[in-house]
Amino acid sequence: MTLSLTAMIGLMGLVVDVGWAYWRKLACKTAAQSAALAAVKAASSPYSSQSSIACSSLTTGPLYVGCQYASANGVTDGGNGGKQSVKMAAGTSSTPVSGLTNVSYWVTATASETMPQWFSGVLGHTALAPSVRATATIMPPSGGCVYSLASSGTGIYESGGGALSSGCGVYVNSSANTATTPAVNLQPSSKITTSGGSKTYIVGGYVCGSGLNGSCVNGSSFSPMPSRGALPVSDPFASDMPSAPTTGSCTPFSIPSYEVNGLPYVLSPGTYCSQVVVAGSETLQLTSGTYVLEAGISAQASGIITATGPVTLYFPAGSAQGSITASGNARITLSAPSSGTYNGLLVWQPSGNTATASIAGSGAMTLNGAVYMPGAQFSYSGTGKLSGANLTLVANTLNLTGSATISNPASTPFFQGGGPSGNFLVE
């Protein structure tokens, strides 16, 4: 009878102790989650990595803010006679949660408490130690409008008052981080502006007028300031590209030295093996469809390239590989298809084609759709302005010189997709 009574009291005690432990585990969960979220909200770029550290060792910074939130929610590092523990960790890569990619910054908080078991001790259960880990992340907007995919060297270079503005994110994959070779180099009076809550996300470092990773001077500016230490992003279109256009029989190209009755020279879709050149005051009018341009297309002097409807310009790799170029006061106005096989693709230059797309001079350019040249440089110089209501630019590197500007006011890219952005509790 005595043995049964002891066992019954022990079991009743176990129920009480386990219930109390469950309640304290919920407290640890609240403390850990609030600490992780508060820390990522308090963080600002450049983000710093930190291996697991006790809150009692922190006196400032975003992780310290997280510690304060944990304490406000009932768990303090060293609290309750040393029985409580709160540890923080942070990083910009190798997240503790599997399957996460493209995370700018993460914080993990671990809250725990050692609890003696008074009632169930008669059964040998001397202590319980509930512990909870929570992780919060900063995820940049996915589906940017401008991408520089080069992993090294200067990904974006601007000088002479060049300006890039975008209604959605600018991503720079280069890890270069020296004063002579930063990932982004804004010389005096040069600017990068993003809007709609987006930023410039840089894996490496930047120069903004002078110095490395410092304040912007000499008329140069980021607006807002960039996020450094971002994770590299993958080519946004690589996995969804359609099959390349079929190369048909080659048609040589030339425009007569005059335009009959002042009318534009009309070109039909097809494969052209010589460079398509528009010069003087000529106007080239493309009819709607797909063009395979083995040696490229060029508008020179006061030449004009326009179209009667949506077009896709494909520049294959090969011995005669070319790109889209312009100079003088030339003007180009083109739009991509909004449906069909090449939906959204205006300029397609596969990675094997490294010919530079060189736009120079004072002419106005309007390109609506994706300009996709992952293996080549997009160079824009002079005093002209390139704009597009839904321009998405993907290049290996980007070079703006003179007072040339690239402007995309849209708040979303032509190609939609990707996950949400902001601060998220992921564990």
CB 254 within 8 A of CB 275: no
Q: How far is CA 182 from CA 210, 221, 363, in A?
A: 11, 15, 30
Render pLDDT for 63-93 as a digit per residue (tens, 0 to 9): 999 999 999 999 999 999 899 999 999 987 7
* Closest alpha carbon to 160 in 189, 183, 185: 189
Q: pTM of the prediction?
A: 0.70
Provide the angle, in degrees to the nearest 10, between the axes of the packed helices 2-42 and 62-72: 140
Tell me how far apart the alpha carbons of residues 176 and 206 are, in angstroms, rounded to a whole number.
Answer: 9
CA-to-CA dists, residue 364 to 98, 263, 288, angstroms:
47, 21, 21
Contact 135, 112 (CB under 8 A): no
Amino acid letter for position 353: N
From first to last of its 427 residues, the chain has per-residue pLDDT tens of: 454 655 555 555 555 556 666 778 888 999 999 999 999 989 876 678 899 999 999 999 999 999 999 999 999 999 998 999 999 999 877 778 877 666 778 999 999 998 765 555 555 555 577 889 999 988 765 557 899 999 999 999 999 988 888 877 899 999 999 999 999 999 999 999 988 777 888 989 999 999 899 999 999 999 999 988 777 887 888 877 899 998 878 888 876 655 555 678 899 999 999 999 988 888 899 999 999 999 999 999 888 999 999 999 999 998 788 999 999 999 999 999 988 999 889 999 999 999 999 988 888 888 888 899 999 999 988 888 888 777 889 999 999 988 777 776 554 454 443 344 567 888 8
Distance of CA 314 to the CA centre of its chain: 25
Q: 3-class DSSP state for residue 357?
A: strand
Q: Which residues contact 128 (CB under 8 A, 6 or more apart)?
A: 17, 18, 21, 114, 115, 117
Q: What percent of the chain has pLDDT over 90?
A: 49
Tens of pLDDT, residue by residue over 98-108, are 776 667 789 99
pLDDT score recorded for residue 191: 94
